[in-house]
């Protein structure tokens, strides 16, 4: 077979990997839409469960469909005791993303039938993953402190239940609403690295639990979902507003990455960052300002001055950590919380991949030697 001529693009930048009707981005105008609906509208008017339904099934649910979907998720939040006991054997210093990846994969052991042509199987799998991932995240937080996990509360909505399981207290209405909106903002974002990973895994026709586990592993990297954890570490290193300018100027001079800034797609401020900043301000107005918020504002101002002409602005990670910390979420849980939200998008891409499936098999550009001869061991 003749070699295929192609131009190598590092990171597959600009190369379409699929056709999709799930979400749309215009990076120069700062537009993000889920199924054609601006994400800001969903964050203000919808809730995460309704948004998940929209993403996965392609349209907003009727009142009856939404009520049934919410009911099913509320009553599938519990995890098998074997998974809980498995978590107790993990090192308490292990990163929660590693725990989540292992636990999501283990979930498939209990539902291993791969009836990918059965609509009920697909719906049940989506419900289980959306319902149980938050329980896993909250369970490990308590387990690593030496405590038993809190049983999910069927009376609480999705956001309230997670915060309750995590913090062992009932959240305020504002806390629950802010957290729910942040989940919507993180739920989907076209063909990012973890979504591509999910679609590649899905294309092999493996089970959806393996699909989600592969996506979780991809999201864990600091260049993807792990960046929000590093934003807070950066703000802590800066320490004061007065230190912002010299710190940023030194980063630019040494070509050190400024965490929470820049995006492969957006050349303006990430629309999710705009909404997350609004959420942060609502929380601070009721619960008191985060001590690093003024530093964050100063960082944004200096980076925009220095790098704005190059299209480098805050991305989704820059303000999300400030929101999560105010909600009582530990910094190493920021990325697992990101995964909780992105499960909706991953499942949407899983279903879409199944509908037009062809296994991914990209080519490569070979740059190694050719025509070498084997050298016997005694002659090397």
- Please provide residue 32's backbone torsions phi and psi, each rounded to the nearest 5 degrees: -135, 125
Reply yes or no on whether 317 is catalytic: yes
Task: Report yes or no: 354 and 116 within 8 Å, Cβ to Cβ.
Answer: yes
Q: Is 44 a catalytic residue?
A: no
The whole-angstrom separation of Cα 111 and Cα 319 is 37
Give the largest Cα separation in the chain, rounded.
Answer: 77
C-alpha to C-alpha distance for 276 and 262, rounded to whole angstroms = 16
- The answer to whether residues 118 and 7 touch, using CB atoms and an 8 Å cutoff, is no
Say which of 263, 270, 290, 349 is annotated catalytic. 263
Q: What 3-state class would DSSP assign to 168?
A: coil
Of these residues, 189, 207, 317, 349, which one is catalytic?
317
In order of 90, 271, 344, the CA distances from 195 in angstroms are 27, 19, 11
Burial of 96 (0-12, 13-18, 19+ CB in 10 A): buried
Closest C-alpha among 5, 208, 46, 15 to residue 111? 208
Q: How far apart are CA 186 and CA 342, in angstroms?
A: 6
Which alpha helices (H) appear in the chain, and where do they start and end?
39-45, 48-57, 63-74, 81-88, 96-110, 119-143, 158-167, 173-185, 193-202, 208-219, 227-238, 244-253, 271-287, 293-307, 316-326, 334-355
**CA dist 52 → 35, 70, 99, 360 (Å):** 11, 11, 24, 26
Q: How many residues does the chain have?
A: 380
In this structure, the strands spanning 31-34 and 23-26 are antiparallel
Burial class (CB in 10 A: 0-12, 13-18, 19+), 98: middle
Positions annotated as catalytic residues are 263, 317
């Amino acid at each position: 077979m003749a070699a295929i001529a192609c131009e190598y693009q590092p990171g597959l930048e600009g190369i379409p990997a699929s056709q999709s009707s799930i979400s749309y981005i215009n990076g120069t105008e700062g537009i993000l839409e889920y199924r054609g609906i601006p994400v800001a509208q969903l964050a203000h008017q919808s809730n995460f469960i309704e948004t998940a339904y929209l993403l996965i099934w392609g349209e907003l649910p009727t009142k009856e469909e939404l009520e049934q979907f919410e009911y099913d998720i509320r009553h599938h939040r519990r995890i098998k005791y074997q998974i809980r006991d498995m978590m107790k054997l993990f090192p308490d210093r292990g990163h929660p993303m590693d725990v989540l990846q292992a636990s999501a994969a283990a979930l498939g052991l209990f539902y291993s039938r791969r009836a990918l042509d059965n609509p009920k199987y697909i719906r049940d799998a989506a419900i289980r993953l959306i319902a149980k991932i938050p329980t896993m995240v909250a369970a490990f937080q308590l387990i690593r402190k030496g405590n038993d996990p809190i049983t999910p509360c069927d009376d609480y909505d999705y956001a309230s239940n997670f915060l309750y399981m995590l913090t062992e207290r009932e959240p305020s209405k504002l806390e629950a609403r802010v957290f729910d909106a942040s989940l919507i903002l993180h739920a989907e974002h076209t063909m990012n690295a973890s979504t591509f990973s999910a679609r590649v895994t899905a294309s092999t026709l493996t089970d959806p639990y393996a699909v989600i586990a592969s996506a979780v592993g991809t999201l864990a990297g600091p260049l993807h979902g792990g960046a929000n954890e590093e934003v807070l570490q950066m703000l802590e290193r800066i320490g004061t507003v007065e230190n912002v300018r010299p710190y940023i100027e030194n980063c630019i001079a040494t070509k050190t990455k400024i965490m929470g800034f820049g995006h492969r797609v957006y050349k303006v401020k990430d629309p999710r960052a705009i909404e997350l900043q609004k959420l942060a301000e609502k929380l601070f107005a009721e619960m008191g300002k985060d001590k690093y918020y003024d530093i964050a504002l100063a960082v944004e101002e200096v980076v925009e001055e220095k790098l704005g002409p190059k299209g480098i602005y805050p991305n989704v990670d820059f303000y999300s950590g400030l929101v999560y910390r105010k909600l009582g979420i530990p910094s190493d849980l920021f990325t697992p919380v990101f995964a909780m939200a992105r499960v909706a998008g991953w499942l949407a891409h899983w279903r879409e991949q199944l509908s037009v499936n062809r296994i991914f098999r990209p080519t490569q550009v070979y740059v190694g030697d050719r025509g070498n001869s084997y050298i016997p061991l005694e002659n090397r």
